[in-house]
Amino acid sequence: MTEQDTRRRMFVPDHYRAPDPRALVARYPFAQLVSAARDGSPFATSVPIYFASDAPDETMLVGHLARANPHADVLDEGQAALAIFAGPHAYISSSWYVERPTVPTWNYMTAQVRGRLTPVDDDEEQLAIMRRTIVMSEAYNGSDWTMADAPEGKVEFLLPMIRSFRIEVERIDGVTKLSQTHPPGDRQRVIAALRARGAPEDIQIADRMGELDRG
C-alpha cells in the first residue's frame, strides 16, 4: 500500500477503532455519498445506502439518487466513491471529568466506506435495488410494506426519475469514540450528564456507552 493510499484512509485513533464497522453501516444507513465529476468538482448527496444482501461478507452497497440531482449526471463507471455513515454524536463538557480532568470533546460514532461506483440505468436492476432499499427501510420501521402496495402505476411513473448505483466496497473504517480512555467513574458521570441533558443524540450516546461498559 502506498503512502498516498494510507493518507486517504479515515483517521481512526486506535483507542476508538470500531470493532465492527459493518455494523455501523447497517445501523445508520442514511449516508452522504461523495464522488467527483471528471473535472474534479466534488458532489455530495444524502441518501439511504444498504448492503446488497444480508450475507456477512457482502461487498456491494446499493442506493439511488433523484435524476434531477446534478450529482446523478456525473456518476461514472469505476469512479472512486466515498460513503459516510454518521451515527449519533454529543458534546462532552470538561466539567464532567472529575477523576482525570481534561478539555472538552465530542463523542461520536461513524463509518466510512471507500469503493468503486457503477451507475445503474437498467429498469429491472433499478427495481431490484429499490426492493432491497424498501425491505431494509421497512424492517427498521417494523412494517412489511412493499412496492406491490404502492398506488397503481406510481412505481412506473417514478422509475425514470431516479438513477441507481452500486459501490464495490474496497475498505470500511469506523470510529466509536465513547470516552474509552477515561476512568470508569468519569464515564459514569458522562453517561449521567448526557441523560440529564436529554437531547435524543445525548441519550443515544449514553446508551452506546452503557452497552460498551457491559461488553
**Where are the domains positioned within the chain?**
3-179
pTM equals 0.91
As a whole number of angstroms, the distance between CA 107 and CA 179 comes to 7
Q: Quick one: pLDDT at residue 140?
A: 86
Residue ranges, the chain, pLDDT below 50: 1-4
Write the CATH number of the domain with boundaries 3-179.
2.30.110.10
Q: Supply the Cα-derived Rg of the chain in whole angstroms.
A: 20
User: What pLDDT sits at residue 213?
Assistant: 78
Backbone angles phi, psi at 89, to 5 degrees: -145, 155
What's the pLDDT at 3?
46
Model pLDDT, residue 156: 94
Q: In the prediction, which pLDDT does 215 show?
A: 66
